[in-house]
Amino acid sequence: MVRTTKEGVYGAPESKSNRPRIRPAHRHYDVAMTNASRRSARISALVGAITESATLKVDAKAKALKAEGRPVIGFGAGEPDFPTPDYVVEAAAEACSDPRNHRYTPAGGLPELKQAIVEKTRRDSGYDVEPAQVLVTNGGKHAIYGVYATILDPGDEVLLPAPYWTTYPEAIRLAGGVPVEVLADETQGYKVTVEQLEAARTARTTALLFNSPSNPTGAVYTADEVRAIGAWALEHDLWVIADEIYEHLVYDGLETGSLPVLVPELADRCIVVNGVAKTYAMTGWRVGWVVGPTDVVKAATNLQSHATSNVANVTQRAALAAVSGDLSAVEQMKTAFDRRRHTIVSMLNEIDGVVCPLPQGAFYAYPAVKGLLGREYDGQRIDSSAGLAEYILERAEVAVVPGEAFGSPGYLRLSYALGDDDLVEGITRLQKLFA
């Protein structure tokens, strides 16, 4: 019998042909930790090392200050300010009274929702998949963690282009992996190159996280850039986790596309993450999904069967209505976001010391504020973007997220998914603060 280990088949080096598709089960704690220290620790080392979500923390603080009566304007949360479409809400209301939705359903998702996701994926990106390649999850974060837990072993490295969404590195660490940051600044449009990725690749590199359109920068890789990165990943037999949650928010007619469509040879090593949150203004409904090779999806479904069982049936019914409908709602939102991105970028660039590229996707502006650092404000010297964000909240009552949360100090993230009047008022306060 041939036995397989992390290094591959006994007596043979690991290769594309003998590498395990699904990583074996493993423990996450430090085996060197003594029994006594384990007993004395109230929180596990794994969970104790996790940082709080910076975006949710800023949003919570802004809401708390508002509740105290302060006129805080929040640019922190990445959620559309539009209502969920009526037909989606009606589907959920109807589902509440349907006895079918009061029972357990398949852990991997309602069959009709999985089929609808198959059809939506074909319609929106041209990617042909089967229901067996779909797993419905409790939002995009759950999808990302489930993917990493399924394919990573302790010590496996994941290339993580930075600036990155704050949850990515924590999900990698929770799964036992090691995030390897690859920084792209504003001079290169916040997009990493193949040369940068190759320089960061080691013998432990297992996967690449690829997010386009990007949170937090709004950067969008062109079709040619996607092809080049996909071809490089294919050459080195890497997994690619493609987060396409902002797929419909691309501006100026930029030509881009889904990675497994542009590089079909990579489909067997590509896992796509998506959801209804951004497209249909359903951030709080918590429905996401994974599309990938059947063996990976089957294993991730098995994990989910023990972690959460099925996603709430009522929200699955709402998601079914959303993905089965047309894209008129997102087109209306996109028109507003397009208008707002020009406004916010123009106003931010009027502040001396701020450089803000025009984002080509999503609904975030990511200005470099290094020119504002190293100065004294009201007798207080501020040397970090984290300190600058705190100062802005206290003095201008404007909530922004510092670049430290995204792996790139010296920047701020501002979501322009808020009303036009609040947007103008908030940036006007910043202009006055730094005049």
Q: Tell me the average pLDDT across 140-162.
A: 97
Q: Tell me the average pLDDT across 340-369.
A: 98
Residue 3 lies in a domain: no
What b/e string do you get for 252-281 counting C-beta neighbours within 10 Å, with b at 16 or more? eeeebbbbbbbbeebbebbbbbbbbbbbbb
Residue 5 lies in a domain: no
User: Distance between CA atoms of 76 and 64, rounded to whole angstroms?
Assistant: 13
**Quick one: pLDDT band at residue 37, thresholds 50, 70, 90?**
low
Same domain, yes or no, for 210 and 230? Answer: yes
User: Distance between CA atoms of 142 and 135, rounded to whole angstroms?
Assistant: 11
Residue 21 lies in a domain: no
Query: What pLDDT is recorded for position 371?
Result: 97
User: Distance between CA atoms of 402 and 341, rounded to whole angstroms?
Assistant: 19
Tens of pLDDT along 308-325? 999 999 999 999 999 999
Residue 19 lies in a domain: no
Domain range enclosing 337: 54-79+329-433
Residue 277's CATH number: 3.40.640.10
Same domain, yes or no, for 105 and 217? Answer: yes
- Record the tokens describing residue 312, joined without a space: 């709430």
- On whether the CB atoms of residues 400 and 356 are closer than 8 A, the answer is no
Same domain, yes or no, for 157 and 293? Answer: yes
Residue 371's CATH number: 3.90.1150.10
- Record the tokens describing residue 87, joined without a space: 């037909």
Question: Model's pTM, two decimal places?
Answer: 0.88
Same domain, yes or no, for 296 and 411? Answer: no
Same domain, yes or no, for 221 and 358? Answer: no
Same domain, yes or no, for 220 and 278? Answer: yes
Residue 25 lies in a domain: no
Residue 300 lies in a domain: yes
Tens of pLDDT along 10-32? 333 444 444 556 655 444 445 44
User: Distance between CA atoms of 242 and 144, rounded to whole angstroms?
Assistant: 10
Query: What pLDDT is recorded for position 197?
Result: 98
User: Distance between CA atoms of 107 and 322, rounded to whole angstroms?
Assistant: 20
Query: What pLDDT is recorded for position 51?
Result: 79
Tens of pLDDT along 374-393? 999 999 999 999 999 999 99
Same domain, yes or no, for 378 and 296? Answer: no
Q: Tell me the average pLDDT across 198-214.
A: 98
Q: Tell me the average pLDDT across 80-98.
A: 94
Same domain, yes or no, for 113 and 72? Answer: no
Query: What pLDDT is recorded for position 47?
Result: 85
Residue 345, number of CB atoms within 10 A of its CB: 20
Same domain, yes or no, for 214 and 303? Answer: yes
Angle at 195 between CA 189 and CA 197, to 5 degrees: 85
What whole-number percentage of the chain has pLDDT above 70? 90
Per DSSP, the three-state class of 222 is: coil
Same domain, yes or no, for 93 and 140? Answer: yes
Same domain, yes or no, for 149 and 273? Answer: yes
- On whether the CB atoms of residues 317 and 157 are closer than 8 A, the answer is no
Residue 406 lies in a domain: yes
Same domain, yes or no, for 151 and 272? Answer: yes
